[in-house]
Structure 1
Amino acid sequence: MDTVNLQEQAARQQLFIALYQKVFPAVAKYVSKHGGSFDEAKDVFQDALLSYYEKSRSIAINSSEGAYIFGTARYLWIQRYKEGNKTTQLDDSFTESIGNQTETAPAEDKLLNFLETAGKRCMELLRSFYYDQLPMARVAQLFGFSGVRSATVQKYKCIEKVRETVKQKALRYEDFLE
């Protein structure tokens, strides 16, 4: 019986090493790109790896090991990042940087005028989904679409209208700054 446990431990250790080598670089790159440190990436990865191992022992996972672990790590990082932003202390350097940022904040009038090129109905649809955060089923009902799929397609078309205008005018982010 001890031999079986030792074999299971060795197999589990080999699995963890292989997954670490395969997936950790992508997780570390993601966390780094989104403001995290190497140690934070290790923590998130280890939590995701543990989650994968526990889930895989109880249920069948339909995605690849790497995709599952990366997706979980990404979700965990987003959660940590949101929590960190909620609990950040406001010190003098932070308030000074906020004061400096107002100079480069996007001009709301410019953005609004630009988005209006998509049309009033598109503006209302995008506002309902993104700003009011209504579920797509509710958006479909409000705008008289036959279903969620139709509303999703129309939202995509509205976004594409805006993207096309950006391409035509070769606009950049800086064009919206005051």
Structure 2
Amino acid sequence: MVSSPKFSSALTLRTALLANREQALTQLYRHAFPLVRRHVSARGGTAEDAQDVFHDALVILYEQAVGGTLTLTATAGTYLLGISRNLWRHELRRRARLPHEALPDDPGQLAAEAATETEATGFAVLDYVEQLGARCKNMLLAFYYFQQPLTQIAEANGYRSVRSATVQKFKCLERLRNSVRRAFHSETIEY
């Protein structure tokens, strides 16, 4: 998706950041920011929103890379785009929760806001993933969102075997399903 062959592994990214942080971050910015800006603006955001989201994603990537906790299955630019997408979804959900002060007179703006709210509510499951705890959240995101192989997930999380990681993934998924079912059930019951 994002061509950044120099940073196709966590080790090369970490080495580049430690050797010349400014140059490495500039290269990441040039490769990944246009895609993040396009994604955010296509979903109702401004250029400033895109910058905020990208900078937050860059901080996350930097901390993980320098801290040695980063595992890349794609390029660093693609990883940044994924983080940015998640951060923007979170921001849309946050904005949808804020009370609306006044309805706009422009029907086009109303339609755009309705589309944004619809998109934001579609990702409410991510709120439940956040409640699972760090270990389950990391596992489910690694497997389902970043599509990492279970061998890599097992290794990164310290499981003795792939089977142990599979069992843990299943348990985390069941916890997620149950919490979503409970929430859905409580919202649909009329008292």
TM class by shorter-chain length? 0.3 to 0.5
Higher relative CO (Cα under 8 Å, sequence separation at least 6) belongs to 2
More helix by share: 1
